A and B are shown apart, each in its own frame.
Chain A
Amino acid sequence: MSPSIHHLLLVPLFGFCLSASAAPLDEPLKPLPPVPQQNPLRVELGRQLFNEPRLSVNNTLSCASCHRLDKGGADTQAFSIGFNGVPVTINTPSVFNATLNFRQFWNGRADTLETQIHAVVQSPSEMGSDWEYVVQTLSADPAYHSAFGKAYPDGVTMNNVQNALATYERTLLSSNSRFDQYLLGDTDILTLEEKYGYQRFKDYGCIACHQGVNIGGNMFQKFGVMGDYFKVRGNPTDTDLGRYLVTKDEEDRNVFKVPSLRNVAVTAPYFHDGSAKTLEEAVDVMFRFQLGRVPSIEDKTLIIQFLKTLTGEWGGKPL
């Protein structure tokens, strides 16, 4: 099928979509769900804890130090700096919409947000603390002591600290992206180029992995399906082993969680190694090593235009 035929087919399709007023579209990509109803005391407590540097052993890092809500829920570095000033070995993923990922961490070693929080606080390269110390520190603070007392019957405990943080993170949804509005039936919100971009996104097979409500984040995939990415990149590290580190299964070598593409335009650099500095670079890598195809310059531009419609809002402002 030639691109011109695609165009001819798409025009009446879009016309149909326009006439179908505000009915939600049935697409492999799904709009963001609303923020779940949760105990507001716990959400507020979680917000405080998220910005609490005393979670790290030397009071230097809070969750928000690396997951900056004004930087797309991550930071702009390939590798964030740990509590001891040494960079960590993997790129920080965005905290936005993390609750919608089927697992946490690049290699999916945590099933829940709570487990993820549990690991980061104790990680010797990230916060370097331990839970006993954290609970002790927070218990000693009268403000936390009373806030926990109000939100939880058993006060400050490890589980409650993790639950408060996870509760807060469940509210971190970057809603109202233009593409979400499109999916909800406002088909005029996207330009024709963006709509073509979405079509290319599906045609080239990006959608094979990046689909569902989080546009990714619901499966594992080998990095380098159609070619050895690591050989080309060079300097293989331990973290490049991906899920293999968790399962020790040869099958899982270089396998990573497919990341969400929501807010992808504002969360550079890309990939677990932060090697792609721009969206173009990342798209190129994906075409070469994952899809094994060569897109036209025009198609690539369209796809990038589409990707930029995935940027949502936080606090009423676009990310």
Chain B
Amino acid sequence: MKMSNRRNLALLGIVAVMLASTLAFLYLKSNSNETSTYAESRDLIGRIKQLNAQWETEILKARIATNHNYDPLVTPLTGMAELWERFDTLESNHGRNDSPIWRASHDAYLTAIQEKTRLVEQFKSHNAVLRNSLAFLPTAEDDIHEQLARLVDGDKLQLQNIATDTYDLLLSSLEFAQVTSDDRAADILVGLNKLGVNKLRLPEQFHSPIDILSNHISLILREQPVVNRLLENIEAVPVAERLDEITSLLNTDQQQTDAIEQRYHFYMLVFSVLLVLLLVYLAIHLMRSFTTISRVNKALKTANDELELRVEERTRELKDTQSELLDTARQAGMAEIATNVLHNVGNVLNSVNISADLVSRKLRASKAQGLGKAMQLINEHPGDLGTFLTQDDKGKLLPGYLNQLVEAIALEQQSMTDELAQLSKSVDHIKDIVATQQSYAGANSLMEPLHISELLEDALRMNAGALTRHHVTVVKEYGEVPQVMGDKHRLLLILINLISNAKYAMSDLSNRPRQMTLGVKIVDNETLQVSVKDDGEGIAAENMTRIFAHGFTTRKEGHGFGLHSCALAAIEMNGHLTAHSDGPGKGAQFTLQIPLKPVTEVA
């Protein structure tokens, strides 16, 4: 029963754990944090795209400005690198780098951004010098013009032509910067050649400014196509496209995850419905169980009541039995008293018998018969009595004989009187014993004033024969005790029993005098204590607890009621009876303690 219970409990636990883990599994599956990662990833990619666009704007601005700060062309890249690193960590934490498609798109982006960075770096270098030269061109041309204007001597027309050529070259170069074409490049080359020729026509001080101008124009001719090509290439680098690819990959993944999540949501819904049904079923079941339990409870209660009734009945029967037993014990106690009385009466009767025998024997051997013979002699000599008494030999002896006979008869009479006095005394003793017995027999719990010492004497007297026969010396240690109110019958029962027990305990004692000590004293002014002490066989420790039990005895002929009834009697008097022994062979002391009720209190 217990085993199957435990197994059921374990089974229930396993089922509960399984259900809970299924629910948890479905919940986790339908609520993965993938979504938040996707949101963050998409956000990161979006921001990278923004920075990329910002970067491109800055590149276009750098293309037209002269005094430009190139920091804005650096910072977006730093930002993009940081964002990418975060994105990469985020994604690799999800193990997405394992997927070849992801790997490819990542690599494609990195390649693109690397290429774009390289191109932008080149663009910055080339654009800086190009913008610088373009900005400088008008000043450089101005320098030449100023000097030309200051030139006073020489061919005015030629100077004018040189000035026009230089100006044309300047314009062509500026146009070239706007619309770069091979035609214009050819124009510029022609212009540069003309400038070279013109330089030779001009004085020495023109050589340096013209060289500077032609150097810068050459630079523009060289750098402008490079810058244009770089810009085209930069535009062609598909960074944004790669980012879009990654976004679409993210979206695809997100959709897949969404679909899976939805599926698991559905599963969870179904599972939840099943669980609810199960719960409803269990609730119904539970309610039914409750009904059953209350029914069973009611039945149990009825059964219990019945049982209680039966127990009560049995208890009553037991009580009856106990009181019967108590009666028996009392009767047994009375029987004991009767035995004692009869025993004592028997003892006294023995004395009576002896006395009677003695008297009868004395009578049989009485000297009175000699008187008869003397009278016969006298009767044979009626006439001559005087003669006979004086003459006859026989007659002469007769008066002496008679005197002697008188003396003997007087002695006989005296002894017989004595013996008869003893006899009557014994009869009186018997009367006494019987009277004492009569005074106790049948007496109920009757409180009467009594002297405890007298009661002890009575008890001793009832045991006197046996005590004398067993040569027991009684030592009396009576304290000052007033007349008390007590149950004479119960006290005497206890005392007789205790004295009798003490006597029996010492019956096997041969090596030392048998001594019994009776004690009476008042303890704490409220308890009367009577003790009976012997130096007999003592009580074994293991018997100490059983000694007052009903039916316990160590004597062959004992019935085990004595001490039990004594203890009961003591309790009936609101007192108690205790035993003490130092062990086998060391004697025992029984102590009766009852509440002290002096007579004055009652009066």
* Interfacial residues, chain A to chain B (CB-CB below 8 A): 1-2, 28-30, 102, 202, 205, 207-209, 211-213, 218-222, 225-226, 247, 251, 255, 291-294
Contacts and interface: CB of A to CB of B under 8 A. Distances in A.
A219 B136 contact: no
Interface in B42-62: none
A281 to B, nearest CB: 21
A264 to B, nearest CB: 18
Given A1-B139, A205-B132, A221-B128, A211 B121 contact: no
B199 to A, nearest CB: 16
Contacts of B146: 2
A52 B146 CA distance: 62
B125 A220 contact: yes
B71 interface: yes
Listed residue (B73, B122, B132) with the most chain A CB atoms within 10 angstroms of its CB: B132
Listed residue (A208, A222, A247) with the most chain B CB atoms within 10 angstroms of its CB: A208
13 contacts: A1-B142, A29-B69, A30-B71, A102-B78, A208-B129, A211-B67, A212-B74, A219-B124, A220-B122, A221-B129, A292-B133, A292-B215, A294-B208
Given A30-B71, A212-B71, A225-B129, 8 more contacts: A205-B132, A208-B129, A212-B74, A218-B74, A218-B124, A220-B121, A221-B129, A291-B132
B122 A251 contact: yes
Contacts of A208: 66-68, 128-129, 131-132
B270 interface: no
B68 A219 contact: no
B447 interface: no
Given A205-B132, A205-B135, A294-B208, A211 B68 contact: yes
A213 B68 CA distance: 12
Contacts of A219: 70, 73, 121, 124-125, 128
Nearest to B146: A2
B128 A209 contact: yes
B480 to A, nearest CB: 95
Contact of A205 (B78, B124, B136): B136
Contacts of A255: 125
Given A219-B121, A220-B125, A292-B215, A28 B68 contact: yes
Contact of B69 (A28, A225, A247, A291): A28
B514 interface: no
Contacts of B116: none
Contacts of B129: 208, 221-222, 225
A222 B216 contact: no
Listed residue (A2, A212, A221, A255) with the most chain B CB atoms within 10 angstroms of its CB: A212
A208 B62 CA distance: 11
Chain B interface size band reads: 20 to 34
A293 B136 contact: yes
Contacts of A209: 128
A218 B66 CA distance: 16
A247 B122 CA distance: 12
Interface string B141-153: 0100010000000
Contacts of A205: 132, 135-136
A11 B131 CA distance: 27
A223 to B, nearest CB: 11
B71 A213 contact: yes
Contacts of B142: 1
B67 A207 contact: yes
* Interface SS of A by simple majority: loop
Contacts, number: 71
B128 A218 contact: no
Contacts of A218: 70-71, 73-74, 124
Interface string B342-356: 000000000000000
A102 B77 CA distance: 10
Contacts of B78: 102
Listed residue (B68, B70, B139) with the most chain A CB atoms within 10 angstroms of its CB: B70
What are the 10 A-B residue pairs with the smallest beta carbon separation, nearest first?
A212-B71, A205-B132, A208-B132, A219-B124, A208-B128, A28-B69, A102-B74, A218-B70, A28-B67, A211-B69
Contact of A292 (B69, B71, B135, B212): B212
Contacts of B122: 220, 251
A219 B127 CA distance: 11
Interface of B: 66-71, 73-74, 78, 118, 121-122, 124-125, 128-129, 131-133, 135-136, 139, 142, 146, 208, 212, 215-216, 219
Contacts of A2: 146
A24 B78 CA distance: 25
A255 B146 CA distance: 36
A251 B125 CA distance: 11
Given A205-B135, A219-B125, A221-B125, A211 B215 contact: no
Contact of B215 (A30, A213, A226): A226
Nearest to B124: A219
Contacts of B68: 28, 208, 211
A265 B86 CA distance: 41
A294 B143 CA distance: 12
Nearest to A212: B71
Contacts of B216: 292
Listed residue (A28, A213, A226, A292) with the most chain B CB atoms within 10 angstroms of its CB: A292
Contacts of B69: 28-30, 211-212
A30 B133 CA distance: 24
Nearest to B208: A294
B67 to A, nearest CB: 5
Nearest to A203: B139
Contacts of A225: 129, 219
Nearest to B81: A111
A132 to B, nearest CB: 26
Nearest to B135: A205
A212 B70 contact: yes
A293 B212 contact: yes
A157 B141 CA distance: 62
Given A207-B67, A209-B128, A213-B71, A226 B219 contact: yes
A251 B230 CA distance: 12
B141 to A, nearest CB: 11
Contacts of B121: 219-220
A226 B136 CA distance: 14
A121 to B, nearest CB: 24
Listed residue (A28, A207, A226, A293) with the most chain B CB atoms within 10 angstroms of its CB: A293
A301 to B, nearest CB: 20
Nearest to A108: B121
A67 to B, nearest CB: 23
Contact of B125 (A212, A222, A293): A222
A293 B137 CA distance: 11
Nearest to B78: A102
Contacts of A1: 139, 142
Listed residue (B133, B135, B142, B216) with the most chain A CB atoms within 10 angstroms of its CB: B133
A221 B118 CA distance: 13
